[in-house]
Homo-oligomer: A and B are copies of this chain.
Amino acid sequence: MRKLNSSLQFLIGIIFLVSCQQQAVVENTSNETPLDPLPSWNEGKSKTAILSFIKSSTDTTSNNFVPVEDRIAVFDNDGTLWSEQPAYFQLFFAIDRIKAMASDHPEWKDQQPYKAVLEGDMKALMASGERGLIELVMTSHAGMTTDEFQQIVTDWIATAKHPRFDRPYNELVYQPMLELLDFLRANAFKTFIVSGGGVEFMRPWAEAVYGIPKDQIVGSSIKTKFEIKEGVPQITRLPEIDFIDDKSGKPVGIWKFIGRRPIFCGGNSDGDLQMMQYTASSKYKSMMLYVHHTDSVREWAYDRQSHIGQFDKGLDEAKAKGWNLVSMKDDWKSIYTFD
């Protein structure tokens, strides 16, 4: 009897799961032509591959069907969801912060890397090396509560403008990728950002722009501590690196924050190679999609020799393994939401 009950419950459970999945799939009950879920993508190999992958992974009769809970899609941010030239946007944020803080630090006039920042000398700034850049980030990103830092980022993203486009940085997001994110979610994929950028630099604005909840944004982080300040429990940001979510750190971050191998991975540089490899090793049929910066007119064209977003080993491996290479120039009808 107990066994019978269990079997019955098992059956009910399966039916419940299947019916949940059905609801999530894009419905087309009319006789009209289905709406194109990816209107900013030109017809071609990339678009066909995406449509085909999502169709087969959500079709219960397909050998490649993936249960809803395993439909995990991860995306790099810089260069994959928004632009990253002429430098990572977070560096512009750090520079603006240093300038805003400079009046309290007269000593910075003669002290690198601050001197370089205040004089707008990017060459000297780059010459300060990794050590200099880390010092800059720590000075501009630590020493306040998380509430305060969140407000600083929110104010900056609302007011700062990109040097080339003279628009807020969060308007430089790729319209075709927004459509892809929406299409994945409409098919019950859970979408995540897995970025080398600072998690607390992304969370204040990325949720609204990408439709990805804060708790689904994974990034690099500095250490924090809990303390009660003037009666109010606060989390304070400390000038010490906690986790670098780049290269081999990306699959480590995926496992730490998500706990599953993804079945879809979007990236654009060698920093994304290891999470591509990790996604490719899923027990399900998975999709690896590399955005290739090929549009020198509407965006930028760069790969192997670039200082920002270098795409060299990843390009070779993508070609060798037949991963999807999206050419921004050829595959994308429009680049930005404002195009």
Chain A residues at the B interface, C-beta cutoff of 8 Å: 5-7, 9-16, 18-19, 22, 69, 146, 190, 192, 199-200, 203, 207, 213-217, 221, 224-226, 228, 232-233, 235, 242, 248-249, 251-252, 255-260, 274, 277-278, 280-281
Given known contacts A215-B190, A216-B215, A260-B214, A224 and B255 CB-to-CB distance under 8 angstroms: yes
How distant is the Cα of A286 from the Cα of B13 in the complex, in angstroms?
A: 30
Query: Does A248 contact B221, Cβ atoms closer than 8 Å?
Result: no
Q: Is there contact, CB below 8 Å, between A251 and B277?
A: no
Return A265 CB to nearest CB of chain B, in Å: 12
CB neighbours of A69 from chain B (8 A)? 207, 213
User: Lowest 10 A-B CB distances belong to which pairs?
Assistant: A13-B15, A214-B259, A226-B248, A9-B16, A226-B251, A233-B281, A215-B258, A6-B12, A233-B277, A10-B12
Report the nearest B residue to A217, measured CB to CB: B259
Q: Quick one: given A278-B233, A281-B233, are A255 and B146 in contact (CB under 8 Å)?
A: yes
Shortest Cβ distance from A123 into chain B, in angstroms? Answer: 35
Known: A221-B256, A226-B248. 6 other contacts (CB 8 A): A69-B213, A192-B215, A225-B248, A226-B274, A233-B251, A257-B257
Chain B residue nearest to A22 (CB atoms) is B16
Q: Are B235 and A255 in touch, CB under 8 angstroms? A: yes
**Pair B259/A235 contact, Cβ less than 8 Å:** no
The interface centre, meaning the residue of A5, A9, A22 with most chain B CB atoms within 10 A of its CB, is A9
| Main DSSP-derived SS at the A contact region | helix
Query: Which residues of B lie under 8 Å from residue A280 when comparing CB positions?
Result: 233
- Report 25 cross-chain contacts, Cβ distance below 8 Å, ordered by A residue: A6-B12, A9-B16, A10-B12, A10-B15, A12-B15, A13-B18, A16-B18, A69-B213, A190-B215, A199-B259, A200-B259, A203-B259, A214-B260, A215-B215, A215-B259, A221-B256, A225-B248, A226-B248, A226-B251, A226-B278, A228-B277, A232-B281, A233-B281, A235-B251, A235-B255
Q: How far apart sit A214 and B252, CA to CA, in the bound complex (Å)?
A: 15
Closest Cβ–Cβ distance, residue A272 to chain B (whole Å):
13
Number of copies: 2
Q: Which of B9, B192, B216, B224 contacts A15 (CB 8 A)?
A: B9
Interface centre among A12, A199, A213, A232 (most CB of B within 10 A): A12
Most buried by B among A203, A215, A228: A215
A7 cross-chain contacts in B, Cβ below 8 A: 12
Q: Say yes or no: A215 contacts B19, CB within 8 Å.
A: no
Contacts of A251 in B (CB 8 A): 226, 233, 235
Q: Given the known A-B contacts A274-B226, A278-B233, are A257 and B215 also in contact in the complex, defined by CB atoms under 8 Å?
A: yes
- Enumerate chain B residues within 8 angstroms of A217, measured Cβ to Cβ: 259
- Please give me the residue from chain B that is nearest to A281 by CB atom: B233
Tell me, rounded to whole Å, the shortest Cβ–Cβ distance linking A145 to chain B.
Answer: 10
Interchain nearest-CB distance for A225 vs B (Å): 7
Q: What CA separation (Å) do A135 and B15 show in the bound complex? A: 45
Q: A202: shortest Cβ distance to chain B, in Å?
A: 9
Chain B residues, Cβ within 8 Å of A215? 190, 192, 215-216, 257-260
